[in-house]
A = this chain, B = another copy of it.
Amino acid sequence: MSSSYKLFSDPIHGFISVPRKLLLPLVKSPEVQRLRRLRQLGVGNLVFPSAEHSRFGHALGSLALMQDALRTLKESGTPISDDEFEASLAAALLHDIGHGPFSHTLEFQLFRAVPHECLTRRLIQRMNERFDGALNLTLEIFDDTYQRPFFGNLLASQLDVDRLDYLRRDSHFTGVIEGSIGVERVIRTMRVYPREGGAGSRIVIEAKGIYAAENVLVARRHMYWQVYVHKTVLAGDHVLVAALCRARSHLKDGNNEAIRNISPTLAPFLEKSYDKSALNDSNVLDAFLELDDTDVMASLKCWMHSTDPILADLSRRFIERDLFRCVFLPESPDPDTIRAWKQRVADTLVQMGLSNREQSVADADYYIFVDRSSHSAYHRKEGPIHTLEADGTVSEVLARKDSRALDALTHYVEKPYVCFPKAADLGI
């Protein structure tokens, strides 16, 4: 009398039912289980104490939303085969398996110039071999080469199941309820146009769902500025990157004493400069699959006792949450200002006994960061959002009346900022 589904309990979606056939073995694979050890928000929990949720929950949530979306589409008359159903769910489940520890923070630190999507694709390919081609269609949907392109829209577009889940999930766990969104309404108003869903078909939103869709874009903008690039999150990012860069330099110099007890899993990713070519090396992929947040944390904790006072200080700062100060600036500072700031920081390092006169300017590179955050909530280039009007026609949302609010969301906003130790007085 056992069911053909396994239920997972989730504070966001209630019960998530995972079909036992292909999907449950995928959930049980080491690739997906590893997502349990990657926090969804990287260092976000340093600002929002309960934002400790993992990428595993998000993977299941994306699967759940894909299920809801496909049911809505079927029910509104678009034929979807069992194989397509299963392959789409697999794509939603696996869409983030290429993320490494502290995801976006360390994304290009571990593989030079390799975005996580490339790693994801490569890892799905490997799983596909293990699963005897059961993921062929999943790969087509992931690559957006499938002949019925609306499946690709569900996986990657401005209103895809990935975003719908993470906005709602991150909003919930951070408690930033400005990011809460009408996920159910968006999904219930999804349609395929043309309805049969052949070549050239896309996901559109019924006109009555337009406010829910707009709300997703607004929520994304609010989450971006209030959570994803919160100034303390940026400060945490930079402390973490600085510590790893410092460790990397010791590794390259063969200065093993300073980085004693580095996690053996993490070591090769700092020592070697893996790039795209490494994706063909099965050993590198195996190593990557063993790497997660705990290796970084365990290494930082060891480095708190490093013989290098700078590495020890940076590690301690991260572990004890004694982060940099981060200040948003009205405009990007000019090179002279930056130079003066860096000198100030260098002086501070000397005063703090972390560096000496000769080294201090070079060492300051680990202690001051001038950068900028930028965001536009609605990216026309990522594929515009279309609505299905009551008369059966389709139009881009920006072409509609009352699109002023949406239009504003296409606006690109850029905020320069600087991070530095609180002890350094930069006069800002």
Q: Judge if A339 is at the interface, Cβ distance under 8 Å.
A: no
Known A-B contacts A1-B195, A4-B75, A15-B188; the reply to A302 vs B264 at CB < 8 A is yes
Query: Considering the chains assembled together, what is the distance between the CA atoms of A165 and B134 in angstroms?
Result: 42
List A residues 402-428 near B (Cβ within 8 Å).
Answer: 402, 404-405, 407-409, 411, 413, 415
Number of copies of this kind of chain in the complex: 4
Distance from A19 Cβ to chain B, minimum over Cβ atoms (Å): 10
Interface pick from A29-37, A155-163, A246-254: A29-37
Contact B75 A49 (CB under 8 A): no
Q: Judge if A182 is at the interface, Cβ distance under 8 Å.
A: yes
List A residues 356-410 near B (Cβ within 8 Å).
Answer: 377, 388, 392, 401-402, 404-405, 407-409
Q: Judge if A212 is at the interface, Cβ distance under 8 Å.
A: yes
Which of chain B's residues have a CB closer than 8 A to the CB of A218?
A: 215, 218, 405
Chain B residue with the shortest CB-CB distance to A60: B49
Which of chain B's residues have a CB closer than 8 A to the CB of A392?
A: 1
Contact B52 A54 (CB under 8 A): yes
Which of chain B's residues have a CB closer than 8 A to the CB of A60?
A: 49
Contact B175 A1 (CB under 8 A): no
Chain B residue with the shortest CB-CB distance to A231: B208
List A residues 1-48 near B (Cβ within 8 Å).
Answer: 1, 3-5, 7-12, 14-15, 28, 30, 33, 36-37, 45-46, 48
Contact B215 A211 (CB under 8 A): no
Contact A14 B175 (CB under 8 A): yes
Query: Considering the chains assembled together, what is the distance between the CA atoms of A172 and B52 in angstroms?
Result: 14
Distance from A39 Cβ to chain B, minimum over Cβ atoms (Å): 8
Q: Choose among B180, B195, B226 the residue that contacts A177 (Cβ–Cβ < 8 A).
A: B180
Chain B residue with the shortest CB-CB distance to A212: B178
Q: Choose among B178, B185, B319, B402 the residue that contacts A413 (Cβ–Cβ < 8 A).
A: B402
9 chain-A/chain-B pairs, Cβ below 8 angstroms: A10-B50, A28-B322, A30-B319, A36-B321, A52-B52, A52-B53, A178-B181, A265-B298, A293-B294
19 further A-B pairs in the complex, CB-CB below 8 A; given A1-B77, A221-B405, A295-B298: A1-B388, A3-B76, A4-B75, A5-B75, A9-B48, A9-B175, A11-B175, A15-B184, A28-B321, A28-B322, A36-B45, A37-B297, A49-B57, A215-B218, A265-B302, A294-B297, A294-B298, A298-B298, A402-B413
A residues lining the B interface (CB < 8 Å): 1, 3-5, 7-12, 14-15, 28, 30, 33, 36-37, 45-46, 48-50, 52-54, 56-57, 60, 75-77, 172-178, 180-182, 184-185, 188, 191, 195, 211-212, 214-215, 218, 221-222, 225-226, 261, 263-265, 290, 292-295, 297-298, 301-302, 304, 319-322, 330, 377, 388, 392, 401-402, 404-405, 407-409, 411, 413, 415
